[in-house]
Amino acid sequence: MKRTVTRLADGRELIYFDRRDDADRSAPDLRDLPPRPPASELRRDPLTGDWVAIAGHRQNRTFHPAADACPLCPSTPGRPTEIPSADYDVVVFENRFPSFSATPGDLAQAGGLSEVRPGIGRCEVVCFTSDHEASFADLSPGRAALVMEAWADRTAELSALPGVEQVFCFENRGREIGITLGHPHGQIYAYPYVTPRTLRTLAMAASHAERTGRDLFADVLAAEREAGVRVVAANDHWTAFVPAAARWPFEVHIYPHRRVPDLCGLDAAERASFGPLYTGVLRRLDGLFGVAMPYVAAWHQAPISTDRKLSYAHMELFGVRRASNRLKHLAGSESAMGAFVNDVRPEDAADLLRRVVTT
């Protein structure tokens, strides 16, 4: 893998990840860009303790441009984009409209009981391919492995930044999910706090360890592999299964067979074998109803400075289509109370996914 670091016209970092050592990434960004926005504010909800980022500059971010105006495609003569090169394998760059950044800003006097502090952190965009019409499911094993290398690289780099407490790699796919750019890409958030979901999960892991002396995630994986009824796919290093208490109609968790706290801990064989299994799961999701499945794919990694021995890196993937013409919406119970109701039995979902013929 060749890794080339450069800068965009406004000073944001851009990193090319190439499979060829002779890739030339010297093309400069000649655009005249406005100054980078200041860091968001973090306000703490006094009722839940959760941090909320207030990032008003994101209201004006790019929204569903035409394919020939996509900012994630390679640059062409007369049409510069976020990627100056005329082609690329995998690219990571700092988000132009970040939820968190290191750029100083003034804090508002919000009043009330909310604690306020700067939203110091970093947000990056990961472009999986230069092909605007492709998806992650279309990636070759080599390209998927290169994305995995980029995720691990960025996890290590961002974890070392001052004030960062957790690194989150994810992909939102489909207009139904709320994406604003159709080009195949994901994002990485370097949070200045540990997220609520992680805190809650690690509290359960700590309770399980105190009660049994065992690892909660490893026990979940072992139980699913033994039961088998919800397993969708597996290889020597990974198992993909529908969780017994799935919240979403088609939800798949993908665990490595060996516990590591984050993606940096995966060895070469584990990194290489993830892609073929994962793209196969994505093709099953797309094949369920013969229409692209809108989904969120989320890597759960250990916080940087706490509870690393309790953590078990894994992916949680959920699709929001419950039938060919029906979506799962987060309505009253889910949105207001956080109490999910799933219309599809997890065992049925796993069976349907296993039956999909993939090529």
Q: Which residues are catalytic?
A: 185
* 88 close to 75: Cβ distance less than 8 angstroms: no
Match 């960062």 to its residue by tokens: 164
Compute CA 119 distance to the chain's CA centroid, rounded to the nearest angstrom. 19
Q: How far apart are the C-alpha atoms of 122 and 241, rounded to whole Å?
A: 32
